[in-house]
Structure 1
């Protein structure tokens, strides 16, 4: 059955028509698999016209997903931050997962595209936002791990949870999301009310050195000495050994 596109989707210039048509088809798709033929038919253009405006179908879909995610991000940034970093983290996490569950095809194109040497522009924007926010938390002394470790942990967990919820067709309020979110918060952030004492600074320094240590020999230290140093640093960083 031919996909019907709303009249508004074919108004305006050709590039816009192509993007609105692809956007409509994506919204109707569960897996993001839409064809060039469907797009061209809905936009009432030929394939050469599509390739005149976009390198290929993937470039068109990248543009559509980036546009949608940028609008979402603008709305997210408009939400005022509170004095409670854990509340801000939870709100940001929930908004991210909700976006994925409400736009599964878009989200899969952002983070589920397995093409070699390809990263979705929207995924790059998402990671840049995580980097910006986490760096601010680190500068304010809210983290118990290095900024880099926090960024990688939060990103990996949020994307993994969202893709899993999409796969099982669950909503963002599923216990998988809340459990992982709260576990990440406990492992990444200092306890609220931390006074930023010398002990806290020591723990932060130990954490950074622990993250940088190799598993094997290091300079003039033997593997057994590195292992012992790692154990001592884990105690100072208040990490499980």
Structure 2
């Protein structure tokens, strides 16, 4: 069956996909196929089957390939849906707010042949993590524990509103049985225990030989208090206290995510 992971950047999707790909051939997780500049992890043979050789991947730039994929999301989704069925596999694809318009998301949510899940993470941790990645100009395989950032307050307001609205719509439009995961539910567990917990929550079989040697991702920020790496920390907290009176306490709770606010 095809599984769609709805999440936002910096919620642990790379680690989750890595875990799923350590479970053998029954589970196959893809990278960021709908990325705006490059269709990550979309293989050439998959490309030719999706687009029927009408667009030779070797003749396209990465940006052109990304545009073609993003302009034909349901074609891509349908290919992996059929592949999962023919191969009797559980295939996982992640979808971020910037990947697809919500009309397309709604079609996915309404498709009974697709299993969906929602991944969320602490609001404060995610936003700071996004800023650290932007500052480092690197989104994977980098230790940002000691990296300090200065937060743009207006940018936070815009980000908060956009992400909150997206998660609200997801929750409202999703089937009642759609499971919601918080990053902290699995990120700090032993990798094998983590993937077992994820699969059990999805009601999927977890009888496999875990391939620990395939683990490539690890937590990128190990600082005990991520707020202490914010150079304008006091200004940021005062901004939250003044402008987020309803949600301030929730935002400051380490385990609080957007799903908790709904």
Q: State the TM-score, normalized to the length of structure 1.
A: 0.27
Normalized per residue, the structure richer in helix is 1
Name the one with the larger strand percent: 2
Q: Greater relative contact order (Cα 8 A, min sep 6): structure 1 or 2?
A: 2
Task: Report the TM-score, using the length of structure 2 for normalisation.
Answer: 0.25
